[in-house]
Amino acid sequence: MCAGVQKERMEPEDMYVLSHSGSVLSAPSPKPWPHKPPKCSDCDPLFKKVSLVQENKHEWLKLL
């Protein structure tokens, strides 16, 4: 998680689900005031890159 997010307090309904192309498949519902509306992490490009590297690693391991 990026700064300001306590991952231990995250619930599945608080998370965005993105496709490999980056489109939003599922978004969290807004919380009542005084909570800020949810937004997708600024670290999204980094998370996508890590996911892609992990997938490629698993594909290579299958070939061994």
What tens digit of pLDDT does each residue of 7-54 get? 788 788 888 888 877 788 998 888 888 888 778 877 778 877 887 787
The model's pTM:
0.55
Helices of type H across 1-64: 44-63
pLDDT value at position 35?
82
Q: Which long-range contacts (CB under 8 A, 24 or more apart) does 25-28 make?
A: none
β-pair partners for 17: 26
Shortest CA distance to 5 belongs to which of 39, 29, 31? 39
